[in-house]
């Protein structure tokens, strides 16, 4: 039946040789598994419990969820074909779902690295240096998105109350508190900007030509500056957002508060950061416990 299915894929579905090879391998793996359980089993007599046992076996052997889902997909396609042509009487994969695919853990910059990067003594006194440092601080100390930072105007910053009003996705506004260090940096930046730059719009963060900063400029700047203190492959404004959330949770902030600060609609979106901090706990445990 496998050969018939592959012939169908080749000539009727015009699938590539690479795809055919993948299907052939995946189906052979499943057949080898159920024959290993019971030599009398066949494609017609396999049930859903056997399919689930196969998935469990793959996961136990260290296969990633994405690989298991890919192999299961091949078997599901085969059974749809076989059922439509009367080669089998039932599809044992019909009620079987693949394992949830792993979400990649968000990358973040360590607190010590951010402290090193934002240390004022490592920056020049010129306008561009002042602008770069205060943007990095704003990302790290408020967790705002790139689009939110670009959209900031002077009226959105309350230096007395130390609050930032940002407009997020779907034009939803939220107020984010910030600390004294960022308040000082913003106050100094605005003074330098007003003295040295002739602004052409109301953007809070302005380039030397007077226009507000752009996405490409900010992305490149963040990438270059983060390279000074870390070796992360991904070095973007969103990594600084991840770094903000991770630092908050590492210092005992509750998940709901972090959700509100980040502007997430659902708590499930924020929960991925708990995996990051738990991974850190595991590393600490492994390094510190004498029997770990």
Among 120, 145, 174, 219, the one annotated catalytic: 145
Catalytic residue status for 161: no
Q: Note the pLDDT of residue 179.
A: 92
Residue 249 · residue 273 · CB < 8 Å: yes
Q: Note the pLDDT of residue 181.
A: 94
Catalytic residue status for 289: no
Catalytic residue status for 264: yes
Distance CA 96, CA 204 (A): 53
Q: Is 157 helix (H, G, I), strand (E, B) or coil?
A: strand
Per residue in 162-194, pLDDT (tens digit) is 999 998 888 888 999 999 999 999 999 999 999
Per residue in 101-139, pLDDT (tens digit) is 766 667 889 999 999 999 999 899 999 999 999 999 999
- What are the tokens at 70? 């890919």
To 5 degrees, how large is the angle CA 58–CA 60–CA 64?
60
Q: Phi first, then psi: give them for residue 212, nearest 5 degrees.
A: -65, 155
Among 52, 110, 238, 260, the one annotated catalytic: 238
Q: Note the pLDDT of residue 276.
A: 63
Residue 150 has pLDDT above 60, yes or no: yes
Distance CA 110, CA 176 (A): 22
Q: Note the pLDDT of residue 100.
A: 82
For the chain, what is the total number of helices (H) and then of strands (E)? 13, 3
Among 169, 172, 187, 283, the one annotated catalytic: 169
Q: What is the mean pLDDT of the chain?
A: 90
Length reported for the chain: 292
- What does the pLDDT average to over 212-220? 96
- 96-116 burial, b at 16+ Cβ within 10 Å, e below that, comes to bebbeeeeeebbbbeeebbee
Residue 154 has pLDDT above 90, yes or no: yes
Catalytic residue status for 275: no
DSSP classification of residue 104: P
Q: Note the pLDDT of residue 280.
A: 66
Total Cβ atoms within 10 A of residue 164? 24
Beta pairing, strands 157-158 & 173-177: unpaired
In terms of pTM, does the model score above 0.85? no
Q: Which has more pLDDT, 291 or 47? A: 47
Catalytic residue status for 71: no
Among 132, 241, 242, 259, the one annotated catalytic: 241
């Amino acid at each position: 039946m496998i050969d018939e299915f592959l012939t169908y894929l080749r000539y009727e579905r015009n699938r590539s040789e690479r795809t055919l090879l993948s299907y052939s391998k995946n189906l052979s793996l499943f057949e080898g598994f159920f024959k290993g359980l019971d030599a009398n089993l066949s494609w017609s007599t396999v049930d859903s419990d056997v399919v689930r046992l196969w998935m469990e076996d793959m996961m136990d052997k260290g296969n990633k969820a994405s690989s298991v889902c890919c192999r299961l997909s091949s078997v599901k396609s085969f059974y749809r074909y076989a059922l439509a042509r009367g080669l089998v009487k039932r599809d044992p994969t019909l009620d079987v779902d693949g394992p949830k695919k792993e979400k990649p853990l968000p990358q973040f910059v360590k607190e010590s690295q951010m402290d090193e990067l934002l240390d004022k003594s490592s920056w020049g006194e010129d306008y561009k240096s002042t602008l770069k440092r205060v943007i990095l601080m704003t990302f790290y100390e408020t967790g705002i998105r790139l689009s939110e930072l670009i959209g900031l105007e002077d009226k959105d910053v309350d230096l007395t109350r130390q609050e930032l009003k940002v407009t997020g996705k779907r034009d939803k506004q939220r107020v984010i508190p910030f600390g004294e260090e960022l308040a000082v940096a913003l106050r100094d930046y605005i003074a330098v900007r007003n003295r040295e730059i002739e602004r052409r719009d109301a953007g809070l963060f302005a380039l030397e030509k007077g226009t507000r900063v752009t996405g490409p400029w900010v992305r490149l700047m963040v990438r270059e500056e983060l390279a000074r203190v870390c070796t992360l492959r991904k070095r973007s404004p969103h990594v600084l957002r991840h770094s903000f959330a991770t630092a908050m949770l590492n210092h005992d902030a509750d998940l709901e508060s972090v959700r509100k600060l980040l502007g997430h609609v659902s708590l499930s979106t924020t929960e991925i950061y708990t995996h990051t901090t738990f991974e850190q706990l595991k590393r600490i445990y492994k390094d510190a416990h004498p029997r770990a």
